[in-house]
Chains A and B, each alone.
Chain A
């Protein structure tokens, strides 16, 4: 019975496995192979290039610094919101995850508008202090880490908050009953038990920062990092070197992943979820005032980028030069987006390509819901930075050759949906898996025991259980794809350019208003998709 059932499931899963091998494994293998096409020549070139070595070092420095900056913000904020009750807490909690809602490139340009050389905050301070020059420049490693900390601290915050919520409060009480001071309890009990959550979020930040493209690309100045270096080599036609750089980037990511796994290897316990404790109410008037004041500042810092993008989207293009705030406001930017077909095109491009990628993912993961053996295939696109994935696709799908299973996609519309599809795989797969993990495994046995065939069990028991995951994963996939930038910048053509590329183009043309209007539309699209997914979920329930 069991063996025939598992044979059936293999037969159904086989095309999926083949598809994933073809789109995930094969391109990466092609990149590695490409790096050796000249023997060790390209590798020698890489090792002898001061620019490349500097890029590798800078990439790692930025990633590590981003991890610590995110920790420095996310951990205290999680403790503040999780452990204390004070006026203004709910507002702060509501906006704490806002940065995650900004597509990466939009966050970057919002920072440019705010803290760039001619940004609002920069100029305001310059005027106020009567300085001749801007007090700072939004350039280099510190600028990139600044933006990363803003967008990526959310991972740390969410992980640590969840950890605190699951934290068994009696452990803390036991420690205090045994005479441990607040500091000792934090050091010996709370933090060690939160370490898994902290480590998980550190890994996420590290991987994201390592693969980050938008921030180094937009205000790296002359700074070289691996991801931008890859694009530069490709643009210069030095494909062999680009392959080496891509391999190095992917290997750094995988090395980081393995390092974190190894650091976390000793843990045998899980946090029992016996519910957290009540938050401590701050009674001291002075501390209350301090906390409320502090949260007001944080709230403003968090909301400002969003507000800034909205404000600039109404600024007349070309009018904002040396003033602190844009001097002229107009609806023209939006009117042009909606009326000029060339300007509207990126929006339909992004939406249709995101929907194709999401639909493809949903179809694929419906078919192999409940199976774990594809774990590696599914994890790979998560571990490998998007730039590397994009380069792999560029290296593989650049010609029609039946013998080597190559199809010409580069230069066509389809290359981006395929790239988005691959980037979305981990999101949909992990969402489906987590909702299946919540399913009582005896349900499947019960269905079998009642005489249901494998197919019927799948259709009537497993898929309904996986549906919440499919909805949540699908939403994440669509949201990620519609604002995708990193793979797009490597693979887009003029005709299928997505919103992110258009934002960049408008920014370069100094059409700040139009760039911001696109950004606002992008944010609205994300919002709309979220609402649609939520109402769909409610209808299912």
Chain B
């Protein structure tokens, strides 16, 4: 793809839930989820909702697959490990395709906030690339 940034922006627009969450493309190839008060799950410690983290991870995987030319990909399964509390601040995500097969792709996603070396969550999923 000649302009991955522009492609990713189009891809994000094609995922309404990603738009709802406010996921944005960063120039360095990561996805960026700006903090918003309605993304909180635990107001006492100011933690992001576990479902927001799950959805952001899954959206990042879907964006990667769309960029890789698999627009019809559907999630077969997605597993999230919550490693640290995701606090009231921006979240960053990077997806990696472990394998792009004919029928199935396997994707890993890492999410962090202040420090990429201290991830707050890790996702791992299998995606069916075609309906048939």
Q: Do A and B bind each other?
A: no
A residues sitting closer than 8 Å to B (CB atoms) are: none
